[in-house]
Amino acid sequence: MQKIRVATFQRQPLFDDIASTLVRLQDDLAWCDKQGVELAVFPECYLQGYTSDQQIIARRAIAVDSPSFNDILTKLSPFSTDVIIGFVEQGMDGFYNSAALISKGKLRGIYAKNHPQEQAFLPGRDMPVFQKSGFLFGINICFDANFPGCAKRLSTQSARLICYPLNNMLAVATADKWRHKSVENLRQRAMETACWVVSSDVVGISDGKLSHGCTCIVNPQGDIVARVTEGVEGVVVFDVG
């Protein structure tokens, strides 16, 4: 059966510093190329930093047809590994919490969070499925994991892998509440759809908020086959399939 080598990263967030984020991405993708990784996954809103503040979202948002986004594509063009990266998107009609799939400097597609809990973001409607080495996969983002129908829409299109960029940077009490619930959601989505599930989360403390880190790989039976240690940056690689 066809397999795909996936790397998923747990990283401390950066805010309003795309240049530094791109340097980290380039280092991580260079490492991925050496490991034979075909698909790398990074957290929700990783490119500019996550926020629910409308004014900050407006300032950070980038349109995919802008010179700024084209520069990002150019900087990622040397790498063979496809990459899923969360970003704040400036759409034609407003702002979206999105994830881009980039392959050798080309934008292959975008998924916009269907169930944003942030009022400043518009809900996405599409549920695209992508292919890499004959392996079909799709994307959901963070809070989408609470809605089984999102994952089901991908599995009914023959996706075998669902990638979840996450950002569990929350007030401390809330972070503790979601510490295990977030993992359990991922396990449930895997078992319900018979898909592999890969999540990528931020980690650490920022502005009084905490993320334990929920970066893991779950097989279709709901078993966690690989996970980055809580509380630290790291990466896991697994041949999914």
Global pTM exceeds 0.85: yes
Task: Tell me phi and psi for residue 79, to 5 degrees.
Answer: -100, 140
Question: Can you give 111-128 as a three-state secondary structure string?
Answer: EECCCCCCCCECCCCCCC
Give the pLDDT confidence of 198-218 residue by residue, as tens digits.
Answer: 999 999 999 999 999 999 999
Q: Domain limits at 234?
A: 4-240
Inter-CA distances, 89 with 37, 46, 67, 137, Å: 27, 12, 14, 21
Inter-CA distances, 80 with 77, 168, 194, 225, Å: 8, 29, 28, 25
Q: How many CB atoms lie within 10 A of CB 34?
A: 9
Give the pLDDT confidence of 125-180 residue by residue, as tens digits.
Answer: 999 999 998 899 999 999 999 999 999 999 999 999 999 999 999 999 999 989 99
Number of domains in the chain: 1
Q: What's the token pair of residue 182?
A: 């977030």
Give the domain CATH number at 12: 3.60.110.10
Q: What is the mean pLDDT of the chain?
A: 97
Give the pLDDT confidence of 93-135 residue by residue, as tens digits.
Answer: 999 999 999 999 999 999 999 999 999 999 999 999 999 988 9
Q: What is the DSSP letter of 229?
A: P
Q: Is 223 exposed, middle or buried (0-12, 13-18, 19+ CB in 10 A)?
A: exposed
